[in-house]
């Protein structure tokens, strides 16, 4: 058995809009995902998060379920429009009370709460004012962060500002397959910068209200980008996608500057004049941890003459690309089996990612804040769900984490995505990532075989040689 370090956090993760429901209760107003999901044609089957898996009313049972599984940590997001409905002004105490109760229940069961302040649910009023492409959204986010920090800072010690800002910027404002559904590459780049700025301002705001013991970080979804061949044009395609997927965030976050090649590559889209003096310094805040979300690598090449076909970048290919100034880059599947998301399974990419960030951010602890897979889960005649494919997936990726640790990566915890089957964004309820099956008609929770397997791993603190 491969042992993990003492104190390693064995967790699961969720997002507010995907699980809470209760979208019009206790003062909550619409987020961009409420609006988007209610727009015909945007989400599979017209699904919405109006009810989701009703966590807002079932949270005590869900915490008990986590405890029964032996989890030692739970990463959840706070719904911005539940706390600050217009994105401005004072907090709604009823909204904060929900999170206060959730945190207290977690602590009572010995489960460490890990808060993510933003998992894509921008208040619709802020989108009406321009959304993330507008600078003011960064300041509003910092104000909101301080409100939540003041409310929960006496009991929560681990804080993440943003989850996957790449998706917020480039899927929300570039390809339009995520809320708010805009398709403007220049707006996507502005959004990326203002998300970065919002992170930096929120870090400062949180440090002004949280106890000194609190840890503050961010969860990114970096792409492990590989060239299809060693040809110079394919290597350059890799460099360009690495800039758009990764260094647009790690540049200012870790080094205090945007990479020059990114600015040059996208000069035909924008002149980057929205970056003002002092912005990159404000973004370049000390980080107490970096969260990394990993599912599958990206394989790219220069597009060949006459090449046509779907864009295999894993991001719900639509009419518009999420990659500004990179229409001549082609994406390919990595070798290996595919999940129900049509994503290749490649655990080695997770080891590569963890070692890369160990080198990029020396001395900064790492967490795997999301990792998991969707499969075609079904109830059998006995009312159980057997998911051996997911068990193999998790075993392979936990082995990859262990490999990174043995090579010097300071990985402090792993958060399985996800605790529960839920609203999977533009895929609606057609994709199941949960370790726990949810019957959407009855809201019954049924732990899958993978939940039982993961529970054994969490309780033992070690990974068996075979899955």
**What pLDDT score was predicted for residue 318?**
81
pLDDT band at 42 (very low <50, low <70, confident <90, very high): very high
Query: Does the pLDDT at position 151 exceed 80?
Result: yes
As a whole number, mean pLDDT of residues 84-111 equals: 98
The mean pLDDT value for 386-406 works out to 98
Instruction: For residue 164, indicate whether it is catalytic.
Output: yes
- Which one of the listed residues 20, 127, 134, 164 is annotated catalytic? 164
370 catalytic, yes or no?
A: yes
Please write the tens of the pLDDT for every residue from 64-77. Answer: 999 999 999 999 99
Residues 160-218 pLDDT 10s: 999 999 999 999 999 999 999 999 999 999 999 999 999 999 999 999 999 999 999 99
Smallest CA-to-CA distance from 290 within 378, 361, 191, 232 is with: 361
Q: What is the pLDDT of residues 415-446, one digit of tens each?
A: 999 999 999 999 999 999 999 999 999 999 99
What is the spatial distance between Cα 376 and Cα 372, in angstroms, rounded to a whole number? Answer: 14
Q: Minimal CA–CA distance to 11: which of 102, 114, 161?
A: 114
At residue 306, the pLDDT reads: 77
Tell me the pairing of strands 73-77 and 158-163. Answer: unpaired
Q: What angle do CA 288, 224, 310 make, to 5 degrees?
A: 135
In whole angstroms, what is the distance from residue 208 CA to residue 201 CA? 11
* Mean pLDDT, residues 128-153: 98
Of 20-29, 247-256, 315-324, the poorest mean pLDDT is in 315-324
The catalytically annotated residue of 105, 134, 157, 370 is: 370
Where are the extended beta strands (E) located within 97-233? 112-118, 158-163, 215-220, 225-227
Please report which confidence band the pLDDT of residue 311 belongs to, taking 50, 70 and 90 as the band edges.
confident
Long-range pairs of 181-187 with CB within 8 A, sequence gap ≥ 24: 181/36, 181/39, 181/42, 182/131, 183/319, 183/320, 184/133, 185/269, 185/321, 185/324, 185/325, 186/269, 186/270, 186/324, 187/133
Return the percentage of the chain with pLDDT > 90, whole number. Answer: 96
**In the predicted structure, residue 466 carries a pLDDT above the cut 90:** no
pLDDT band at residue 309 using 50, 70 and 90 as cut-offs:
confident
pLDDT digits (tens, 9 = 90+) for 316-330: 878 899 999 999 999
Query: Average per-residue pLDDT in the chain?
Result: 97
Alpha-carbon distances, residue 457 vs 50, 165, 321, 435, 452 (angstroms) = 34, 31, 40, 13, 9
Give the C-alpha separation, 37 to 153, whole Å: 32
The pLDDT of residue 342: 96
Give the HSE-up count for residue 313: Cα atoms under 13 Å, Cβ half-sphere: 29
Range 240-260 average pLDDT:
98
């Amino acid at each position: 058995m491969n042992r993990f370090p003492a104190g390693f956090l064995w967790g699961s993760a969720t997002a507010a809009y995907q699980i809470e429901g209760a979208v019009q209760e206790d003062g909550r107003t619409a987020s961009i995902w409420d609006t988007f999901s209610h727009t015909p044609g945007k989400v599979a089957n017209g699904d919405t998060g109006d009810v989701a898996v009703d966590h807002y009313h079932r949270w005590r049972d869900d915490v008990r379920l986590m405890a029964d599984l032996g989890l030692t940590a739970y990463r959840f997001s706070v719904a911005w429009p539940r706390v600050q409905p217009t994105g401005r002004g004072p907090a709604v105490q009823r909204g904060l009370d929900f999170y206060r109760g959730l945190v207290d229940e977690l602590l009572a069961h010995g489960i460490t709460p890990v808060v993510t302040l933003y998992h894509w649910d921008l208040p619709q009023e802020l989108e009406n004012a321009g959304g993330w492409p507008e600078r003011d959204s960064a300041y509003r986010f910092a104000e909101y962060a301080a409100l939540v920090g003041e409310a929960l800072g006496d009991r929560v010690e681990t804080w993440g500002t943003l989850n996957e800002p790449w998706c917020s910027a480039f899927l929300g404002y570039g390809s339009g397959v995520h809320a708010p559904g805009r398709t403007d590459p220049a707006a996507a780049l502005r959004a990326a910068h203002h998300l970065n700025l919002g992170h930096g301002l929120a870090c400062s705001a949180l440090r002004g209200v949280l106890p000194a013991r609190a840890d503050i970080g961010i969860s990114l979804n970096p792409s492990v980008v590989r060239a299809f061949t060693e040809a110079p044009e394919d290597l350059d395609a890799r460099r360009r996608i690495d800039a758009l997927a990764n260094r647009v965030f790690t540049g200012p976050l870790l080094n205090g500057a945007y990479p020059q090649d990114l600015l040059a590559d996208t000069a035909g889209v924008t002149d980057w004049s929205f970056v003002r003096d002092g912005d990159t310094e404000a973004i370049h805040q000390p980080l107490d941890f970096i969260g990394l979300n990993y599912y599958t690598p990206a394989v790219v090449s220069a597009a060949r003459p006459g090449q046509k076909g779907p864009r295999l970048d894993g991001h719900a290919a639509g009419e518009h690309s999420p990659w500004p100034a990179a229409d001549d880059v082609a994406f390919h599947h990595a070798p290996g089996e595919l999940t129900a998301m049509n994503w290749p399974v490649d655990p080695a990419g997770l080891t590569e990612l963890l070692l890369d960030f160990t080198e990029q951010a020396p001395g900064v602890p790492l967490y795997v804040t999301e990792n998991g897979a969707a499969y075609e889960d079904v109830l059998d005649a006995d009312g159980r769900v057997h998911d051996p494919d997911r068990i193999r997936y998790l075993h392979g990726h936990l082995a990859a984490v262990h490999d990174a640790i043995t090579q010097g990566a300071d990985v402090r915890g792993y958060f399985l995505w996800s605790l529960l089957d839920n609203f999977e964004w533009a895929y609606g309820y057609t994709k199941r990532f949960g370790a726990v099956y949810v019957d959407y008609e009855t809201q019954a929770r049924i732990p899958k075989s993978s939940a039982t397997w993961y529970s054994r791993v969490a309780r033992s603190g070690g990974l068996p040689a075979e899955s």
